[in-house]
Amino acid sequence: MVVKTFSFIFFTLALVGLGQSKSFEWDYSGLNSNEVLSSNIANEIGNANQSESAEQLTPKDQLLYFTLIAFRDISQSYVDRAANISHSILNDDDLKPNDSPLIKEFLKNITEFMERYEKYEEIDELFNLVDLYSNTTSHYFELDAALASPDVLNIERKLKKYGSDDLDREFEKEFLRFVDRFYEQMDEYKGKLSEEELKKEMAMLQWLEEFKPIENTEEKIISFEKFFRFYED
Ligand SMILES: *[C@@H]1O[C@H](CO)[C@@H](O)[C@H](O)[C@H]1NC(C)=O
Ligand SMILES: *[C@@H]1O[C@H](CO)[C@@H](O)[C@H](O)[C@H]1NC(C)=O
Ligand SMILES: *[C@@H]1O[C@H](CO)[C@@H](O)[C@H](O)[C@H]1NC(C)=O
Ligand SMILES: *[C@@H]1O[C@H](CO)[C@@H](O)[C@H](O)[C@H]1NC(C)=O
């Protein structure tokens, strides 16, 4: 659930933010937002050497750029591990000749993930893949075992056997590691601003003070969504 929320939020809001962030000076006229991401950011972020590419950006856009690069990297390692797990699941003899409609659907989902994983190129598809895998797996770790059917429990057992629950936990940890680096970037950014500019960033700095003390990771992820709104003007 955490993963799902996370990917959904950062993907859609990053799109909104970037599509409207004029200082990037990307030509997105005539493109829909998905295409903006694939054609421009994939070039920028896809092969980016962060320090080099970020140099031409304003300090504020550097902050966004840093964030998107971090999300790209977190997503990349997530889908790579998810593909490994999927591979094991699809080769698990216990699940193979299965008449259960639920298990069939689950395997169909995993197969679709693998097919798309093997051919994806664009960064928006990378984010979709995170969504796709977490949509079909994460809810198994939030079950009420007493109410779950044997098929559901079987899927849950297999996912755990191949480390999908660890993957979710790792994703959370990665997010928290990102947050620590984000604080440093924020401090740097603040250091570059004049009194006048600091005033303009009041809303963002206020949000940061609200964001910092949040302990619950899921709530923290949800609150992070607001960061992208400061790029919407
Ligand atoms: C990235 O840029 C930095 C600073 O310009 C440079 O030192 C580093 O070698 C570059 N890395 C790659 C992989 O190009
Ligand atoms: C995927 O599995 C292979 C073989 O078990 C392993 O070498 C590789 O490191 C794994 N990759 C990831 C991202 O977990
Ligand atoms: C298959 O994927 C759909 C859409 O992501 C999801 O709603 C559904 O719960 C998944 N099915 C199973 C059995 O996991
Ligand atoms: C995953 O689930 C969310 C919420 O139910 C939905 O909006 C999103 O489109 C799904 N993503 C994929 C790739 O199926």
Closest-lying ligand 4 atom to the alpha carbon of residue 132: 13
pLDDT of residue 61: 82
Residues 169, 171, 177: CA angle, nearest 5 degrees: 105
Helix pair angle (59-90, 101-119), 10° resolution: 130
pLDDT in tens, 148-193: 899 999 999 999 999 999 998 998 899 999 999 999 999 999 999 9
| Chain centroid offset of residue 228 CA | 13
pLDDT of residue 12: 47
Cα 145 to averaged position of ligand 2 atoms, centre (Å):
30
Residue 42 identity (one-letter amino acid): A
Residue 102 host element (H or E) = helix 101-119
- The candidate with the shortest Cα–Cα distance to 129, out of 166, 78, 173, is 78
Decide whether any atom of ligand 2 lies within 6 Å of the 158 Cβ: no
Decide whether any atom of ligand 2 lies within 6 Å of the 84 Cβ: yes
Q: Please provide residue 144's backbone torsions phi and psi, each rounded to the nearest 5 degrees.
A: -95, 105
* pTM metric for this prediction: 0.74
Cα 136 to averaged position of ligand 4 atoms, centre (Å):
10
Structure confidence at residue 59 as a pLDDT band (50, 70, 90): confident
The predicted model gives 119-136 an average pLDDT of 86
Burial class (CB in 10 A: 0-12, 13-18, 19+), 96: exposed
Decide whether any atom of ligand 1 lies within 6 Å of the 47 Cβ: no
Tokens of 159: 């996912």
- The candidate with the shortest Cα–Cα distance to 61, out of 38, 45, 42, 43, is 45
Decide whether any atom of ligand 1 lies within 6 Å of the 51 Cβ: yes
| Chain centroid offset of residue 75 CA | 5
